[in-house]
Each structure stands twice: as C-alpha cells, then as structure tokens.
C-alpha cells in the first residue's frame, strides 16, 4: 500500500508571503472627439446614401403601381386615390368662392374673390380642440360649421347667396366623385368617432343644416396636396406635382388615365383631358414592409408609441408631427448611454417634450451662429429641465437634429425624384407647402439639391415653388373651375 504525503502550508505561512502586486490604470473618460464619434455611430443608420435612396424610389414606384392597378388596389399600402380633378384654371373663372381647409389641429375658412384683375383673399384660422379631435364626429363638424358661421358674419358675406365652397380635407378618402368622399382612416392625431367610412361632404352639409343660419354649396372635395398643385398651376401652367411636408406628408401628381387600371368603368377615358390628379397618400408607403431595409430602432419606438402603430410609416420618418419626437428618442438613448448631459436623462425621457419647432430653432442657430455660442439651444434644453449641460452637448444635440431632418429631406427628395422620372416631362414645377418646408432653415435647400442628385443626367428640368395658401386658395380655385364647368354644361 502506497501512502502519499500531502504537504500543507499553514494560513500563517501564506500571510507571511508578500502579496502579488497588481497595477490598475485609472479609466480615462472619453474625449469630446471620441464622444462625437460614438454619437455618430449611434446615428449612422439614419444617414442615407444615394444608393439607398434609389432603392426607396424603386420600392415606392412599385407600391404606387400596385395602388393604381385594378387587381391590387384594394390591398396596396399606397392608396393612389383619384381626385376627379382633371382641369386647372383657364383664367375665365370669376366671382366669390368659399373654401374650408381642414388638415390638422388648425383649420381655415377663406373667401377668394376672382376678378379680371386677379384674386383677393380673406381668411381666418380656427383651432380644433383636442377633445373634439378625439370626440364624436358630430361634435367635430358642428364646431366647423360654427366657425364658418362666425367667419361669414364677421366678413359681412351675403347669407342670401349660396356660395360655392371647395372643401380641403387632408385625410385619406375614398373619393367617388368631385363632391363625394368617404374617410378611409384618420391620421395626424385625429380619432373622432363615427366619421371613418362616412361621406365627409354629407357630414359637413348636415352640420350646416343643423345650424339653419348658413347655406353652402360644396362643389368640390379635395386634398391639401391637390390644392397646393392647383394654387401653383394658377401661376405656372406646368405645375403638375403637389407636395406637403408639414404636420403630415403627402403628394399628388397628374397621371395618364391609361395607367389607372382601377378607374376602368368609373371614368370615361375618352373624355378630355385624358388625365387626372392622383392623390398618392404616400405617407403610408412602407406599411407593407417595403421600407424595412432602412428603419431603425428609433423609428420603431416612435411608431410603437404613436396613436396608429404600424401605419403611416413613411410619414413618421418625415413629417412635423414626428420629427421632434424621433429626435427626442435618440437624445434619450444618448443620455442614458452617458454620451449627453452627463448621463442625466430624466428630462429628455418625457415623451413629446421636444417638439419639431425645437429642431428648426436649433438648426437655425447652428446655421447662423458663427461663434457657436448655442445660446438658443441652451435655453431650449434648460427650459425642458435638462441638467449637466455643456457647449459640447449643445453641439451634439444640433448634430442629431441635422441628421434627423436631413434624412427627412432626402426621403422626400426620393419620392419627388421618382414622380419626376415617372412623368417624363422635360420641364416641371413642383408646388410645395407645409410647415416643415416653410420654417425649417435647411430643408428646402437639402430637398432641392438631393432631387438633382437623384435625377442625375436625366435632362429633366424641375423647379420647387412655394405654394401661397395652396390648401385654401387651391380649394377655392377647384370650386371655381367646377362652377365654370357646370355652367358650360348648362347645369344649375
């Protein structure tokens, strides 16, 4: 038997041995340059190159073709709705025309007077309270009728005359004629009950009849993009695309009837002109997954927390309703990762604390403040309660704002470039309206330059034209054209 002896070392002996020395380097905080690099890495998926944008153009045109085809129109994400507007003003329209422009939290009532000398316009802005946006449809339209009555009274409009009215209703509608349109679905935060699936012209007429003190003749229902196109076409005959980039986003354009398979049996293609303004409703592009290749975790968060998850995905990358919140979500991520505000994220973590107007104001300062003092940016961030602010933080916030708004401009440019290419016109004017286009300091230039890049050497000339009161004036002009055509046909 073999006995193995194990030598034990006492605890006392171990303690007598000197401990092994270990050298710990203190952790060096990242430099400002390294922090900017890390922020750029977080935002990298939001920076789109032209190859990605060309992919967007191809996917969007495919979605639009599906929306126009008889076989796929009912399931297409991009609805391609007919406007039934086939003519623009010819200069012979004369008289007074009312317009109602409902497309967001504010709406307008207008009176447009067309004379041989030109046009004049009076208008007033009214607000839609949040409780009416999300209340009943009857209450919403009663409020609109009340505001119209106030406008008519204040402007001494003759109540004995039944004035023609153009109704700009900037939500997706299934239009069945120039004066008939059923709301498909609310967007832009509206959820008034009892309206989806109903004829909005009838709802307006019924609200006016309940009052018994105003008498209107709704002669045209249109989308704000159609109004934008018409208002610009009043000055430039070759305006054939209308685009809105505001609270929401949309586009319309003149399409040949032979490309609109779903209009067979609905529109007589032998009638002239052989074209119609199509309201694309491109805000819903990507709802079927066609835009999945460029969506980010930030887009998913904004979509999930929105009033309509999974819908209007293209709009949520572009429009004023979402641009500020998208920026806030990114800033919250950076603050939680201790790349901003010294890691103080509580204030910026509040949903909707960072509206889109802040994006515009911060970028305006970035553009104009040569000394980079960021006084406005400091003020904005301090007002919402952000702590631990530094000048570097302000510069990085401005960078995030520019990344978000540049992506929005580039995606809009992809849609417009696709329409220009599709139409094949040598020269074309694009009427543009909306708060983002009007008030963001760099959006118009970014949009214009990127369209040119995406068209490349196509030899197609284009020009962006700011629409003057397009959704309102355009509605009155559509009403004027409709009235003229009725008179020419001998209708009352």
Q: Enumerate the active-site residues.
A: 188, 224
- DSSP 3-state of 171: coil
Q: At CB < 8 A and 24+ separation, what contacts does 33-40 make? A: 35/339, 35/392, 35/396, 36/396, 36/399, 38/337, 38/339, 39/334, 39/339, 39/340, 39/396, 39/399, 39/400, 40/399
- Give me 16's structure tokens: 């007598």
- Give me 49's structure tokens: 């190159």
- Give me 34's structure tokens: 């390294």
Q: List Cα–Cα distances, 128 to 59, 147, 308, in angstroms.
A: 36, 10, 20
- Listed in order, strand segments (DSSP E) in 382-478 are 427-433, 461-466
- Give me 346's structure tokens: 């509580």
Q: How many C-beta atoms lie closer than 10 Å to residue 446's C-beta?
A: 19
Going by C-alpha positions, the residue among 185, 145, 277, 263 that lies closest to residue 224 is: 277
Q: List Cα–Cα distances, 264 to 78, 173, 254, 270, 388, in angstroms.
A: 19, 19, 17, 11, 63
- Residue 183 — left, alpha, or beta (φ > 0 → left; ψ -120 to 50 → alpha)? beta
CA pair distance 240, 221, nearest whole angstrom: 19
* CB neighbour class for 208 (10 Å; exposed up to 12, middle 13-18, buried from 19): buried
CA torsion, ordered 249, 254, 256, 260, to nearest 10 deg: 30
């Amino acid at each position: 038997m073999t006995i193995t002896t194990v030598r034990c070392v006492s605890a006392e002996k171990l303690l007598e041995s000197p401990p092994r020395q270990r050298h710990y380097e203190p952790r060096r905080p990242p430099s400002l340059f390294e922090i900017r690099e890390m922020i750029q890495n977080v935002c990298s998926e939001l920076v789109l190159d032209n190859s990605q944008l060309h992919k967007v153009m191809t996917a969007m045109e495919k979605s639009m073709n599906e929306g126009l085809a008889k076989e796929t129109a009912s399931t297409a994400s991009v609805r391609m709705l007919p406007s039934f507007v086939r003519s623009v003003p010819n200069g012979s329209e004369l008289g007074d025309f009312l317009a109602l422009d409902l497309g967001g939290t504010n709406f307008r009532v207008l009176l447009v007077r067309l004379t041989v000398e030109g046009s004049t316009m009076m208008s007033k802005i009214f607000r839609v309270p949040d409780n009416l946006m999300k209340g009943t449809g009857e209450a919403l339209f009663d409020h609109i009728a009340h505001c119209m009555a106030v406008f008519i009274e204040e402007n001494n409009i003759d109540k004995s005359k039944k004035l023609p009215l153009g109704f700009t209703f900037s939500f997706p509608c299934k239009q069945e004629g120039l004066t008939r349109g059923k709301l498909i679905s609310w967007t832009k935060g509206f959820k008034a009950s009892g309206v989806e699936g109903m004829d909005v012209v009838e709802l307006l007429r019924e609200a006016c009849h309940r009052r018994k003190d105003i008498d209107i003749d709704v002669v045209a229902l249109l989308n704000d993009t159609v109004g934008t196109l018409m208002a610009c076409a009043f000055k430039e005959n070759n305006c054939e695309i209308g685009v809105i980039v505001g609270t929401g986003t949309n586009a319309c354009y003149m399409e040949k009837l032979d490309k609109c398979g779903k209009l067979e049996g609905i529109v007589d293609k032998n009638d002239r002109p052989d074209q119609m303004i199509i309201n694309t409703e491109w805000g819903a592009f990507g709802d079927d997954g066609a835009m999945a290749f460029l969506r980010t975790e930030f887009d998913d968060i904004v979509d999930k927390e929105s009033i309509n998850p999974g819908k209007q995905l293209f709009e949520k990358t572009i429009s004023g309703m979402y641009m500020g919140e998208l920026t806030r979500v990114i800033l919250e991520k950076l603050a939680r990762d201790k790349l901003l505000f010294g890691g103080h994220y509580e204030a910026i973590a509040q949903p909707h604390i960072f509206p889109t107007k802040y994006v515009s104001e911060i970028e305006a300062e970035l553009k104009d403040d040569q000394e980079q003092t960021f006084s406005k940016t400091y003020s904005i961030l301090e007002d919402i309660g952000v702590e631990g602010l530094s000048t570097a933080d302000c510069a990085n916030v401005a960078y995030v704002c520019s990344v978000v708004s540049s992506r929005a401009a580039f995606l809009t440019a992809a849609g417009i470039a696709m329409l220009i290419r599709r139409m094949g016109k040598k020269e074309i004017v694009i009427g543009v309206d909306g708060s983002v286009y009007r008030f963001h300091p760099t959006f118009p230039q970014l949009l214009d330059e990127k369209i040119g890049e995406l068209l490349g050497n196509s030899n197609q000339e284009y020009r962006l034209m700011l629409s003057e009161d397009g959704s309102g004036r355009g509605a009155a002009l559509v009403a004027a054209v409709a009235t003229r055509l009725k008179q020419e046909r001998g209708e009352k």
